[in-house]
């Protein structure tokens, strides 16, 4: 469960040079010293496991590399003739001039040449979410992103010079996708790693000096005891399952940038998202203009045309305004304030000492008559902007002075055809939805109701909430729609939900979603979103289609469900192996198995079932925690296994059974109980699972019936008459 952006050499090394592989190699050398070469069969499994992992990951890497081109970093290079060319970031050179626009993430260090209200967010570097205004001559650092405005910059350091530092800083800032399985498996491996060497050493000592076994048998018994403790199959299973899942999702146009994100999304019980681009198409159009004073319509066109053309913003709203408001005339602009999601307006000042602002009505106007008029449109799911005159052009609404409303601009956004179906799916999966939008809460609530979102009527206006309110879990839990939300408030909502024990996924595509995306348990970005959003996300939807989330969640839940099921088989072996090593060391008796016998039990009761069960398409994920769920299945089987073998040892001592007879009973009981665990794990039983249990039972019985001498047990036929 690693990041998938690895070289071929790193992939091969990660599957070969591992702690458990090296330990298996040492165990194989001990078997060679014993001279009992058939007990080296386990090395064939180790080698095949490594080859399977390498081949599968190389295949997926090839697919991912071909898709990653769609989301790789690019830059807009300003040529000497003024034309702009989109080039690969790796081709940048010192001295190149870059065009910067809102949402761009800087991929090289540089200095500002021109600034048109340029504001940068450097939270990736410093942790501070407040934007910083940049003027000519100011320095720009790789990793920060443009929060507002536009401009040009000169490259000071190429990507190769600052790339390592950029990655290091991003790694500190961006939250890794959460993984219960990874944490549980790492904890289990760490405990087993610490236990193997001392237990193995003590076991050999007791076999050789207390049980008085020969050196050859002592080595083989020790290898058998240690071998059973190694859960290398579980490590391979989880790794390959996730790798194959990444490959299948890639074919469905979802680029997984962290494999853990599959599990995080599969376990998510809260999905936060923006309205635009997820519930709605994001393609806005101006429906009508409502004059609020005597300003001629032609003059309104000139003012809005001047604001939009000066701002250089390239988002859905600005494109809709640009398409609608045409004018040959243009005001002479002396000052410009770009749009920012925190202040929710933009504006210009002119040569005639006039100032105009265009943005959210509830921020710029408090007149009740106008507010009532706006409410009638927002209740229908329409968006409204207001154009106002103001005394001065300032970043804070409180400093604008008196605002005089000029006109309302009504915009519409089309609901996605599959939106209602998607939210029904989330409801069926037990995933609650939270809409975090910068639009008016009534507008968002109306759109949510149209999309069939449960409790979309429960909405709040973030501008009316205090910082303490955002930290109240009950307030966040009971509301579904949060309107007029700033980027920092989105981030705080994510934190509050996580603090309440929720696993939170966040879907976004804009610069205002970056802070929430990078702190969510699983961040999902659209490929047509801003570079900053794609870089902050754990999963990128290459077709920018929110409906593909359904496939991702189903695939993730299938992977997790299958791994949870088969992990019980591996953990059963690890638990009973540790207990047997400890108990037989205390008893001073020979270890009850040799490696070849454990290979038979492992192949029939673990290897074959785990391979078949991981291919199932069952997406029922437990909510009780990975380790607790697995222990509920594995612990009873492991204890039964150990108890039955202790009964055999005690009975053999009382009844004076031969060692060969005891070894035979050990293998039969051990294999039978292990197959019983498979049957338990396969509940509820299906025709396919019944066939699997039958096949492994026949294979186990056939092996000990046909090849008793190979497994060093008594023939079965004489045994029945004993």
Encoded tokens for 109: 């260090």
Please give the mean pLDDT across all residues of the chain: 82
Candidate list 96, 109, 274, 521, residue with the active-site label: 274
Distance CA 69, CA 173 (A): 24
And the tokens for 576?
């009973």
Confidence category of residue 619, pLDDT binned at 50, 70, 90: low
Per the listing, tokens 């769920």 go with: 629
For tokens 């996580």, name the residue.
498
CA distances from 630 to 34, 184, 292, 567, 626 (A): 36, 10, 66, 7, 6
CB atoms near residue 641 (< 10 Å): 25
- Location of structure tokens 């409801």: 427
Distances (CA, A) of 286 to 298, 379, 380, 411: 16, 17, 15, 4
What pLDDT score was predicted for residue 112?
Answer: 93
Respond yes or no: is residue 274 known to be catalytic: yes
- Are the C-beta atoms of residues 405 and 369 closer than 8 Å to each other? no
How crowded is residue 585: how many other Cβ atoms within 10 Å of its Cβ?
A: 20
Determine the 3-state secondary structure of 330 from DSSP: coil
Give the pLDDT score at 674: 93
74 or 30, which is more confident:
30
Question: How far apart, in Å, are the Cα atoms of 104 and each of 165, 313, 514?
Answer: 19, 12, 12
pLDDT digits (tens, 9 = 90+) for 506-565: 998 877 788 889 899 999 988 877 777 887 888 888 887 887 888 888 888 888 888 888
- Tens-digit pLDDT profile for residues 566-585: 888 888 988 888 898 888 88
Residue 74 has pLDDT above 80, yes or no: no
More confident residue, 554 or 231: 554
Return the pLDDT at 622: 53
Among 129, 159, 73, which Cα is nearest to 487's?
Answer: 129
Q: Does residue 71 carry a pLDDT above 70? A: no
> What is residue 401's predicted lDDT score, i.e. its pLDDT?
84
What is the C-alpha to C-alpha distance for residues 147 and 62, in angstroms, rounded to an integer? 34
Which is nearest to 570 in space by CA: 628, 638, 643?
638
Query: Which candidate, 178, 72, 32, places its Cα nearest to that of 538?
Result: 178
Residue 372, Cβ neighbours under 10 Å: how many? 9
Q: What proportion of the chain, given as a percentage, has pLDDT over 70? A: 89
Banded pLDDT at 704 (limits 50, 70, 90): very high
Please indicate whether residue 486 or residue 479 has the higher confidence score (pLDDT): 479
150-204: per-residue pLDDT in tens? 889 998 876 555 533 443 344 345 566 666 777 777 777 778 777 888 888 888 8
- Alpha carbon distance 416, 434 (integer Å): 17
414 pLDDT band, cuts 50/70/90, is confident
Higher pLDDT residue, 260 or 370? Answer: 370
The answer on pLDDT for 51 being more than 50 is yes
Closest of 646, 510, 632, 628 to residue 586, by C-alpha: 646
Say which residue, 169 or 388, is predicted with more confidence. 388
pLDDT value for 585: 83
What is the reported pLDDT for 533? 80
What is the arithmetic mean of pLDDT over 242-251? 80
pTM across the whole model = 0.69
Take residue 527 and report the two structure tokens written for it: 């490929």
Question: pLDDT: is 71 or 393 the higher one?
Answer: 393
Q: What is the arithmetic mean of pLDDT over 293-310?
A: 92
Distances (CA, A) of 452 to 421, 423, 441: 8, 7, 16
Q: Half-sphere exposure (CA, 13 Å, Cβ side) for 505? A: 26
Evaluate the CA torsion angle 144, 313, 307, 485 in order and state its sign. Answer: negative
pLDDT given for residue 347 in this prediction: 92
> What is the tens place of the pLDDT at every residue in 104-121?
878 788 899 998 888 887
Confidence band (pLDDT; 50, 70, 90) for 617? low
> Looking at residue 695, what is its pLDDT?
96
Band (pLDDT 50/70/90 cuts) for residue 278 is confident
Structure confidence at residue 166 (pLDDT): 44
Handedness of CA 493, 494, 497, 500 (dihedral sign): negative
Report, as an integer, the average pLDDT of 125-151: 76
Looking at residue 659, what is its pLDDT? 85
* pLDDT for the residue numbered 496: 95
pLDDT in tens, 351-361: 988 999 999 89
Which residues lie below 8 Å from residue 250, measured CB to CB, with a gap of 6+? 60, 63, 64, 67, 256
The predicted pLDDT at position 163 comes to 37
| Residue percentage of the chain with pLDDT more than 90 | 24
Measured from the Cβ of residue 159, the count of other Cβ atoms closer than 10 Å reads: 20
Q: Which two tokens stand for residue 156?
A: 């000071």
Q: What pLDDT is stored for residue 127 in this prediction?
A: 45
Confidence of residue 328 (pLDDT cuts 50, 70, 90): confident
In this structure, are residues 448 and 402 in contact, taking their beta carbons and an 8 Å threshold?
no
Which pair of tokens denotes residue 139?
């320095």
In DSSP notation, 584-635 reads HHHHT---S--HHHHHHHHIIIIIHHHHHHTT-------SS-HHHHHHHHHH
Cβ atoms within 10 Å of 325's Cβ, excluding its own: 20
Query: Do 327 and 305 meet the contact criterion of CB atoms below 8 Å apart?
Result: yes
How far does Cα 134 stand from its chain's mean position? 34
pLDDT given for residue 486 in this prediction: 84
Interhelix angle 8-16/41-68, rounded to 10 degrees, is 150
So what's the pLDDT on residue 272?
94
pLDDT confidence of residue 164: 33
Model confidence at 55: pLDDT above 80? no
How many angstroms separate the CA atoms of 626 and 493, rounded? 26
Name beta bridge partners: 541: 254, 526
Q: Rounded to whole angstroms, what are the CA distances from 692 to 621, 686, 705?
A: 22, 10, 20
Give per-residue burial for 301-320: e unless 16+ CB within 10 Å, then b: bbbbbbbbbbbbbebbbbbb
Say if residue 304's pLDDT is above 90.
yes
């Amino acid at each position: 469960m690693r990041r998938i952006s690895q070289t071929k050499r790193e992939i091969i090394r990660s599957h070969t040079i591992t702690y458990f592989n090296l330990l298996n190699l040492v165990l194989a050398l001990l078997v060679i010293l014993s001279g009992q070469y058939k007990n080296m069969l386990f090395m064939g499994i180790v080698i095949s496991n490594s080859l399977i992992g390498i081949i599968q990951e190389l295949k997926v890497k090839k697919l991912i590399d071909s898709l990653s081109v769609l989301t790789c970093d690019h830059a807009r290079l300003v040529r000497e003739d003024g034309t702009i060319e989109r080039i690969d970031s790796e081709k940048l050179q010192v001295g190149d001039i870059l065009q910067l626009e809102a949402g761009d993430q800087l991929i090289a260090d540089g200095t500002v040449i021109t600034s048109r209200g340029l504001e940068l967010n450097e939270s990736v570097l410093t942790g501070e979410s407040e934007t910083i205004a940049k003027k000519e001559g100011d320095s720009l650092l790789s990793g920060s992103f443009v929060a507002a405005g536009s401009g040009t910059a000169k490259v000071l350091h190429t990507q190769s010079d600052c790339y390592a530092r950029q990655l290091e800083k991003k790694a500190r800032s961006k939250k890794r996708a959460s993984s219960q399985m990874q944490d549980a498996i790492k904890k289990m491996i760490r405990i087993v790693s610490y236990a193997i060497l001392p237990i193995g050493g003590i076991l050999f000592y007791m076999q050789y000096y207390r049980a008085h076994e020969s050196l050859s048998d002592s080595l083989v018994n020790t290898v058998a005891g240690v071998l059973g403790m190694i859960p290398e199959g579980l490590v391979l299973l989880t790794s390959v399952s996730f790798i194959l899942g990444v490959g299948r999702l890639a074919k469905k146009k979802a680029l997984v940038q962290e494999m853990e994100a599959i599990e995080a999304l599969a376990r998510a019980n809260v999905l936060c998202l923006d309205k635009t681009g997820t519930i709605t198409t994001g393609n806005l159009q101006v429906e009508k203009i409502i004059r609020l004073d005597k300003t001629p319509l032609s003059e309104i066109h000139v003012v809005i045309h001047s604001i939009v053309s000066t701002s250089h913003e390239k988002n859905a709203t600005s494109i809709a305004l640009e398409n609608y408001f045409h004018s040959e005339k243009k005001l002479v602009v002396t000052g410009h304030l770009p749009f920012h999601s925190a202040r929710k307006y933009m504006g210009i000042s002119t040569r005639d000492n006039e100032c105009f602002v265009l943005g959210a009505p509830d921020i710029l106007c408090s007149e009740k008559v106008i507010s009532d008029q706006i409410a009638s449109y927002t209740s229908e799911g329409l968006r409204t902007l207001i154009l106002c005159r103001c005394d001065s052009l300032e970043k804070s609404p409180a400093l604008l002075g008196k605002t005089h409303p000029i006109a309302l601009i009504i915009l519409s956004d089309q609901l996605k055809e599959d939106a209602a179906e998607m939210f029904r799916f989330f409801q069926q999966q037990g995933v609650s939805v939270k809409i975090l939008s910068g639009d008016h809460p009534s507008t968002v609530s109306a759109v949510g109701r149209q999309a069939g979102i449960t409790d979309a009527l429960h909405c709040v206006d973030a501008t009316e909430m205090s910082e303490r309110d955002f930290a109240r879990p009950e307030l966040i839990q009971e509301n579904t729609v949060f309107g007029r939300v700033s980027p920092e408030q989105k981030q705080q909502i994510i934190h509050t939900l996580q603090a309440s024990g929720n696993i939170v996924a966040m879907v976004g595509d804009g610069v205002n979603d970056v802070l929430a995306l990078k702190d969510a348990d699983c961040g999902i970005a659209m490929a047509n979103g801003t570079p900053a959003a794609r870089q902050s996300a754990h999963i990128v939807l290459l077709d920018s289609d929110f409906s593909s989330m359904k496939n991702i969640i189903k695939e993730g839940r299938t992977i997790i469900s299958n791994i949870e099921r088969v992990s019980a088989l591996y953990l059963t072996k690890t638990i009973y192996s540790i207990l047997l090593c400890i108990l037989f060391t205390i008893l001073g008796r020979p270890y009850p198995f040799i490696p070849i016998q454990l290979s038979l039990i492992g192949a029939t009761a673990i290897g074959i079932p785990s391979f078949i069960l991981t291919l199932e398409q069952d997406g029922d994920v437990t909510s009780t925690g990975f380790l607790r769920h697995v222990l509920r299945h594995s612990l009873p089987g492991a204890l039964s296994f150990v108890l039955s073998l202790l009964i055999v040892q005690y009975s053999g001592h009382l009844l004076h059974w031969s060692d060969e007879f005891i070894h035979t009973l050990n293998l039969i009981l051990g294999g039978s109980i292990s197959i019983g665990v498979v049957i338990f794990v396969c509940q509820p039983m299906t025709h396919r699972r019944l066939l699997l249990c039958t096949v492994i039972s026949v294979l186990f019985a056939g092996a000990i019936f046909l090849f008793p001498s190979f497994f060093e047990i008594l023939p079965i036929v004489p045994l029945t008459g004993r």
